[in-house]
Amino acid sequence: QVLSNPEFLAEGSAIHDLLAPDRVLIGGDETIEGSLAIKKLSWIYEHWVPKEKILTTNTWSSELSKLVANAFLAQRISSINTISAICESTGASVSEVAKAVGLDSRIGPKFLNASIGFGGSCFQKDVYNLIYLAESLKLEPVAQYWLQVIKINDWQRERFAQMIVQNLFGSVSGKKIAIYGFAFKKDTADTRESSSIYVCRYLIAEGASLHIYDPKVTSDRIHLDLSEQTGLSERELRKHVKIANEPYEAAKDSHAIVICTEWDEFTKLDYELIYSTMQKPSFLFDGRLILDHDHLVSMGFNVFCVGKKPPKNQFLNQSPL
């Protein structure tokens, strides 16, 4: 018998997710042999998972549920990211809106963090998989609906990169920009489909000189990813991209810091010290909403982030050195 037993493990919490899963899903043939096979696999899980959390279904339901779970999570991120754009124009704060909306127990608080777009090896692939399935079933409106989740994700990445160029007086050509974070999320060295790659690609195309710092991603990985995405040879790329060993070095003499990954480390840095070593005016773009923006503005930073109108009174005391 062939069973379907999708995993719902997230990187960084995989062991916990395995030991204490929200549910275990086992799909199989609707035959006597199929149901015996399902029971056997279920018995293994019952050693540590409460029986009521083990769902048994037919094969199609199980396989489809995996795609739908990831598609719904991706959809929530795209949904909140569309709202982040409205917040930036209206003065609403996307974090406040997400909190207010998430307190509705029917909606729930998780996966409502606005960002520079979801990355990772799973979400985009699984949404595309769902789109392909809908297309092959000739369900074009369904395919178009889910395609929008990907399009919004691409748009959010580009929108953030454009925000950087626009606020740096319309050009980043020749300007040093510190990129904080290259992994697709914190606590992993995985860069697959990382939004950071797309933001960097955009800035490289605009002529910026990037100094990238990530606590876990290796410099070879960063060069390889960017070389693939930009089409530049690794040698050519090294003219535009430097890898820093620590965040202070990356920010020194830069015009701007761009937060791409929500590493905890970035919340604990000495931004007064960092500010003192940067070009003036100094900019900070927070793509993950992890920093205290008012405090940064009080230090002299010009701060821009997803989902929030830029704080007032910026550009005071900002004459170039």
Q: How far is the CB of 9 from ligand UGA (least distance, A)?
A: 5
Residues 6+ apart with CB under 8 A from 242: 209, 210, 211, 212
Beta strand segments in the chain, E:
24-28, 54-58, 176-180, 209-213, 241-243, 256-259, 283-286, 302-305
Cβ 127 vs Cβ 70: under 8 Å: yes
Nearer to ligand UGA, 7 or 236 (CB): 7
Under the criterion CB under 6 A, does residue 10 sit at the interface with ligand UGA? yes
- HEC string of 265-296? HHHCCCHHHHHHHCCCCCEEEECCCCCCHHHH
Measured CA to CA, the distance from residue 111 to residue 136 in angstroms comes to 30
Instruction: Check the annotation: does 8 bind a ligand.
Output: yes
Interface residues for ligand UGA in 164-193 (CB under 6 A)?
A: 184-185
Binding flag, residue 152, ligand UGA (CB under 6 A):
no
> Which stretch of DSSP H or E encloses residue 39?
helix 32-45
Judged by CB, which is closer to ligand UGA: 77, or 217? 77
Only segment of 53-61, 115-123, 164-172, 293-301 that touches ligand UGA (CB under 6 A): 115-123
Task: Pick the binder of ligand UGA from 3, 5, 9, 55 (CB under 6 A).
Answer: 9
Question: Which one among 34, 123, 175, 300 touches ligand UGA, defined by CB under 6 A?
Answer: 123
Nearer to ligand UGA, 134 or 289 (CB): 289
Distance between CA atoms of 216 and 186, rounded to whole angstroms?
9
The pair phi, psi for residue 177, each rounded to 5°, is -125, 130
219 is in an annotated binding site: no
Within a 10 A sphere around the Cβ of 32, how many other Cβ atoms? 8
Alpha carbon distance 242, 30 (integer Å): 57
Write the binding mask 68 to 107 for ligand UGA: x where contact by CB under 6 A, - elsewhere: --x--x---x------------------------------
118 binds ligand UGA per the rule CB under 6 A: yes
Q: Active-site residue among 122, 200, 260, 305?
A: 122
Is 160 annotated in a binding site? The answer is no
Nearest alpha carbon to residue 198 among 113, 82, 289, 118:
118
214: region left, alpha or beta (phi > 0 left; psi from -120 to 50 alpha):
beta
122 is catalytic: yes
Measured from the CB of residue 277, what is the shortest distance to ligand UGA in angstroms?
A: 29
Q: Is 9 labeled as ligand-binding?
A: yes
Q: Are 183 and 225 in contact (CB under 8 A)?
A: no
Of 28, 119, 281, 287, which one interacts with ligand UGA (CB under 6 A)?
Answer: 119
Residue 39 is labelled as binding a ligand: no
State the nearest-atom distance from the C-beta of 99 to ligand UGA, in Å. Answer: 12
Is 66 assigned to a binding site?
A: yes
Q: Minimal CA–CA distance to 189: which of 9, 11, 8?
A: 11
Q: Among the candidate windows 116-124, 151-159, 171-179, 309-317, which touches ligand UGA by CB under 6 A?
A: 116-124
- Contact positions toward ligand UGA, by CB under 6 A? 7-11, 70, 73, 77, 111-113, 115, 118-120, 122-123, 184-185
Binding-site positions for NAD(+) read: 11, 125, 192
Catalytic residues, which ones?
122
Binding-site positions for substrate read: 8-11, 66, 111-115, 119, 185
